[in-house]
Amino acid sequence: MSRVEQIGRATLYLGDCRDVLPTLGKVDAVVTDPPYGVRDDDWDDMSEQEFARFSAGWLSAAVPLAAEMLVFGYLDSSVHTLLKMMCPRVRPMIWAKPPGSQLSGASEKRRWFAFEAIFHCHQGDTWGVVEARDIDVAQAIKAAREAKGLSRGALEVLTRGKKTGLCYRWEEGTSLPGEADLAALRLVLDLRADFDAALQASIRRKNDTITQARAEASKNAARFSDVLTHRTVTEGRHPCEKPLPLMDELMIGTDWVCVLDPFMGSGSTGVSAVKLGRDFIGIERDPGYFDIACKRIEDAQRQGDLFVGAAA
């Protein structure tokens, strides 16, 4: 049985996420930095095949829990491949590490790892505005044309000087006649006030649809870059500790109420979440890192919701 700590709005589990995740309910987002399978630490030292099986295990349990995920990793990894298989939309973001923020290793001439990918995954469909067909105008044009004994092609020759196929679109309701076409149609078909009333109603509907589409586009307009530049934590509590400013930037501007981190480590995601007034669920299997995370999140909780206004 996992050890569970409740610290204010944070619920922390000491245990393997593959055991804990199936017991959890829905959350708004999963934000996590899982093992990469490239280090010598016991929690990361896996063959490529072992790493793929491990990744498939926790992802299959985590993906159904949230509509959005932010998963740290590297491009063309098995995690990236699995996410693309499991999630409808996966977009890589970049955490850029400026020069001087990364340890150089054995030689000063050695290149540093200057970026990490963050896979932004969406489960939901995109929103769209579909413009209704203008049936009233279409029916009025068709009825007037047939009353005159004209074919669609003949009407186009009389109004536009040649066959263009546009009359088909008018009578299917997929487009409205322009001003020049309207003048010719009124003359040829003897259109009256009832047609003008139907036309004005269709124009209003079209304008309402355009207004709605623009409002939605403005609401969903990008406000944040997909390249985030932050220095690494070179003397942290965990060898892969993520900087708090980076985690803050990932969460600010979202409407997430509850954030889940299946690989909590020393608790950076949790600290950022509680600072921003979010509920947090963290899972960590190493008792030492778990205790560090508990202490950090408790300290952050004690400070209160410092940035609630910025999270709106």
- Do 89 and 236 lie in one domain? The reply is yes
- Do 24 and 117 lie in one domain? The reply is yes
- Do 229 and 194 lie in one domain? The reply is no
Q: Which of 188, 218, 248 is the last residue of a domain?
A: 218
In the prediction, which pLDDT does 97 show? 85
Q: How far apart are CA 203 and CA 176, in angstroms?
A: 8
Task: Classify residue 15 as exposed, middle or buried by CB count within 10 Å of its CB (0-12, 13-18, 19+).
Answer: middle
pTM: predicted TM-score of the whole model, two decimal places: 0.64
- For residue 185, give the nearest of 137, 113, 128, 120 by alpha carbon: 137
In the prediction, which pLDDT does 88 show? 87
Q: How far apart are CA 26 and CA 33, in angstroms?
A: 19
Residue listed under structure tokens 């000087």: 161
Q: How far apart are CA 101 and CA 104, in angstroms?
A: 9
In the prediction, which pLDDT does 279 show? 95
- Do 113 and 227 lie in one domain? The reply is yes
- Do 82 and 200 lie in one domain? The reply is no
- For residue 50, give the nearest of 71, 70, 30, 35 by alpha carbon: 35
Q: How far apart are CA 101 and CA 41, in angstroms?
A: 22
3-state class (DSSP) for residue 215: helix
Task: CATH number of the domain at 144, please.
Answer: 1.10.260.40
For residue 46, give both structure tokens: 């896996």
Q: How many domains is the chain built from?
A: 2
Q: How far apart are CA 284 and CA 310, in angstroms?
A: 28
- Do 111 and 144 lie in one domain? The reply is no
- Do 122 and 89 lie in one domain? The reply is yes
- Do 119 and 143 lie in one domain? The reply is no
Pairing of strands 10-14, 279-284: parallel
- Do 11 and 107 lie in one domain? The reply is yes
In the prediction, which pLDDT does 209 show? 75
Q: How far apart are CA 290 and CA 287, in angstroms?
A: 5
- Do 100 and 248 lie in one domain? The reply is yes
- Do 61 and 177 lie in one domain? The reply is no
For residue 106, give both structure tokens: 């054995």
Q: Which of 191, 218, 245 is the last residue of a domain?
A: 218
Tens digit of pLDDT at every position of the chain (312 positions): 478 999 999 999 999 999 999 999 999 999 999 987 655 666 556 677 888 888 898 999 999 999 999 999 888 778 888 888 898 889 999 998 887 555 544 445 566 678 889 999 987 655 444 455 668 888 888 888 999 899 988 988 888 888 888 888 888 877 788 888 888 888 888 888 888 888 888 888 877 777 776 776 666 555 667 888 888 776 677 666 788 899 999 998 888 999 999 999 989 999 999 999 999 999 999 999 999 999 999 999 887 644 444 443
Q: Which of 218, 237, 272 is the last residue of a domain?
A: 218
Task: CATH number of the domain at 44, please.
Answer: 3.40.50.150
In the prediction, which pLDDT does 232 show? 78
By residue range, what is the domain housing residue 179?
A: 135-218
- Do 9 and 109 lie in one domain? The reply is yes
Give, to the nearest 10 degrees, the angle between helix 135-147 and helix 193-219. 150
